[in-house]
Amino acid sequence: MAQLTYRDAVARAITQEMERDPNVVFLGEDVGGAGGVFKATVGLLERFGPERVRDTPISEQAILGAAMGAAMTGLRPIAEIMFADFFAVCWDLVANQIAKSSYMTAGQVSFPLVIRSGNGGGLRFGAQHSQSVENWAMAVPGLKVVAPSNPTDVIGLFAAAVRDPDPVMFFEHKGLYSSKGEVPDGEIVDTLGSAKVLRPGGDATIVALAAMVPRAVAAAEALAQRGIEAGVIDVRSLVPLDTQTILREVSATGRLFTVEENPRLCGWGAELVSIVAEECFNYLDGPPLRITTPHIPLPSADALEDMAIPSVERIVTTIERAMQS
């Protein structure tokens, strides 16, 4: 066991997989010589050389096209899109090409690739460098979608993503890069499509993703002091989605609260609420509630951004009020 930052966990995860498989290659802007703009890929160029760790020009379409073409011819590329907001300039490759080509070709080609990207807000970067766009990816058939909340999951889920035969969108949260956690020694490999129950709770179930997970845990602790036992589930993977774990927990508590950083409409929580409503309606003691960012672009000023993204206080207040009504 050792203390590791989320940022260092990224480099360790990539190292673990590149050490294991010479077909794993890595490309992106500033990922090599600079060690990544978030310093999450420091040391990889020195360790694996410029043939396997390739700095690219600012050409997001070329980065993802190259990853796709390499994946369909036998490599297992890792591509970095620096900020998840930049998916808007290369979404053709993601949504039209990488996601659909296995289906369209009746399975002639597959795409064992990982696209990792800095997602989410809280860093005062404004509306074009702060979005949570995991629901964009979730809406496209053919993409697996993962968003880890802690350093150990970064490594384990990343390893699972690299070893998966299908394209995985791996959303790292920019606001978590400096967060720390205890990480086991040795190889770590997790499973895609498995949610994790972080905290049991008999009164309510809070389901959260990425940076909302530590806030949900803090909120649950505060609620416990006020006599409300709320459990917390880290969804971890939106596609595949571990509905069984979530349905089981919500059926037991009778209350569902989702905590989502994305703007309100069509966030992942909406799908979850729909599944719960369809499949365990009779176990519910009250309406499922979604705690999200309002349906606005994210503002830059710290005072405004902090109001927009769900805070521990807002989670606590919302749940407490709902449970008392």
Partner 1 sequence: MTSTTDDPAATAGPPGIDPATLHRPDGSVDVPTQLALYRQMVRMRKFETRAYDLFMENLVKGTSHLSLGQEAIAAAFGEAMEDQDYTFATYRGHAHTLARGTSMTGVMGELLGRSCGVLSGKGGSMHLTDVSHGVMGSYAIVGAHLTIALGAAWSAQYRGEQRVAVAFFGDGTTNIGAFHESLNLAAVWKLPVVFVCENNMYMEYTPIGSVTAVANPAADRAAAYGLDSILVDGNDADAMYLTARESLDRARSGGGPSLIEARTYRSSGHSRADPGKYRPDAEVAAWKNYDPIVLYRTRLVTRGVSEADLDAIEETADGDVETATVNAKASPAPGADDLLRDVWSDGGSSWRN
Q: Which of 61, 8, 308, 317 is nearest to 16 (CA)?
A: 8
Q: Which of the following is catalytic: 12, 52, 116, 129?
A: 129
Closest approach of partner 1 to the CB of residue 215, in Å:
25
234 sits in which H/E element: strand 230-234
AA letter at 4: L
Cβ-based nearer residue to partner 1, 192 or 309: 192
User: Which residue's entry shows tokens 């050409």?
Assistant: 59
b/e burial code for range 52-78 (CB count within 10 A of at least 16 → b): bbbebeeebeebbbbbbebbbeebbbb
Smallest separation, CB 278 to partner 1 (Å): 12
Please, which residue, 112 or 175, has the CB nearer to partner 1? 112
Q: Is the Cβ of residue 5 or residue 258 nearer to partner 1 in the bound state? A: 258
Give every CB contact of residue 192 below 8 A, 6+ residues apart in sequence. 144, 146, 157, 160, 161, 164, 168, 237, 240
Residues in the chain: 325
Cβ proximity to partner 1, 93 vs 160, nearer residue: 93
CA–CA gap between residue 316 and residue 325 (Å, rounded): 14
Q: Which residues bind partner 1 (CB under 8 A)?
A: 25, 51, 54, 56-57, 59, 61-62, 64-75, 77, 92-93, 96-97, 101-110, 112, 141-142, 165-166, 193, 239-244, 275
**Separation CA 154–CA 189 (nearest Å):** 10
Residue 296: beta bridge partners?
Answer: none
Which CB, 109 or 304, lies closer to partner 1? 109
Among this protein's residues, is 129 annotated catalytic? yes
In whole angstroms, the minimum distance from the beta carbon of 161 to partner 1 comes to: 14
According to DSSP, the residues that pair with 173 across neighbouring strands are 119
Q: What angle do CA 182, 185, 189 make, to 5 degrees?
A: 95
What's at 102, amino acid-wise? S
Question: Cβ neighbours of residue 187 under 8 Å, at least 6 residues apart?
Answer: 16, 159
Residue 33 or 103: the one with the smaller Cβ distance to partner 1 is 103
Bridge partners for 5 per DSSP: 180
- What is the Cα gyration radius of the chain? 19
Q: How far is the CB of 182 from partner 1 (least distance, A)?
A: 28
Nearest distance from C-beta of residue 85 to partner 1, angstroms: 17
CB of 52 to partner 1, least distance (A): 8
How far is 8 from 159, CA to CA, in rounded Å?
Answer: 15
Catalytic residues: 129
